[in-house]
Amino acid sequence: MSLTLHFHPLSSFCWKALIALYEHGTQFTPNSVDLGNPDERAALKKLWGIGKFPVLQDDARGQIVPESSVIIEYLDRHYPGPTPLLPVDPDLALQTRLRDRFYDLYVHLPMQKVIGDRLRPGDSKDPHGVAEARTQLRISYGMIEQQQVAAGDWAMGASFGLADCSAFPALFYGNIAEPFGADHKKLAAYVERLKARPSVARVIKEAEPYFHMVPKQS
């Protein structure tokens, strides 16, 4: 099997790549990496000097592909599934990339700030940064609530794609970091539709044994 995904089943950005792989029905070898293990961390850094996952290794093409959005586009191009995750139409593809960046930058990153702060020792916490991140999450939730009015079933309308792969991990963990409000009914319904998607449900199922490691609000 030429494809190997170096990942961790609890990692939100790894979920994004896994959802795409399962949507495509792509055969790959999963390699779960423990960043707390010096040897495994070193092996990952040999592939991608930043030392973060996910990283897709394609032995058949001699390629190392880091970063979840790039991995998904790479799969679409070289290992296409029944339906492309990035639209063929260039204008719609541009809008899809924008929505993908929105979820990564304005939901995913502030979510990580909030949850990451819960892992810090008491004298190293960043209450100001966490407050800013919570504010950003609430702003983003409001924008998604409005977007879902016209977006139909999925982030970009009728077809499941890149933006949905990006949306679910960010929103799943975002709801732990800063729970959805009563005024986010369309957003909450969208997340439930995502959970019911077979590719997403599989990712959740595989991550369940690790959920006890996710820090809750103290």
Q: Where are the domains of the chain?
A: 3-78, 90-197
> Interhelix angle for 68-78 vs 12-24, to 10°?
10
Taking alpha carbons only, the member of 104, 99, 19, 21 closest to residue 57 is 21
Q: How far is CA 48 from CA 52, 56, 216, in A?
A: 7, 10, 31
Residues 7, 14 contacting (CB under 8 angstroms): yes
Classified by CATH at the fold level, domain 90-197 comes out as Glutathione S-transferase Yfyf (Class Pi); Chain A, domain 2 (1.20.1050)
3-state secondary structure of 17: helix
Residues 160, 197 contacting (CB under 8 angstroms): yes
Task: Write the pLDDT tens digit of every residue in 162-217.
Answer: 999 999 999 999 999 999 999 999 999 999 999 999 999 999 999 999 999 888 76
217 compared with 75, residue with greater pLDDT: 75
3-state secondary structure of 28: coil
User: How confident is residue 81, by pLDDT bands cut at 50, 70 and 90?
Assistant: very high
When the pLDDT of each residue in the chain is averaged and rounded to a whole number, the result is 94
- Specify the CATH class of 3-78 in words: alpha beta
- Cα separation, 11 vs 14, whole angstroms: 5
Task: Write the pLDDT tens digit of every residue in 114-165.
Answer: 999 998 888 889 999 999 999 999 999 999 998 875 556 899 988 999 999 9
Order of strands, edge to edge, in the sheet holding 55-58?
29-32, 3-7, 55-58, 63-66
- Cα separation, 62 vs 218, whole angstroms: 46
Q: What is the DSSP string of 102-155?
A: HHIIIIIHHHHHHHHHHTS-GGG--HHHHHHHHHHHHHHHHHHHHHHHHHTTBT
**pTM over cut 0.75:** yes
The predicted pLDDT at position 38 comes to 95
- Cα separation, 15 vs 18, whole angstroms: 5
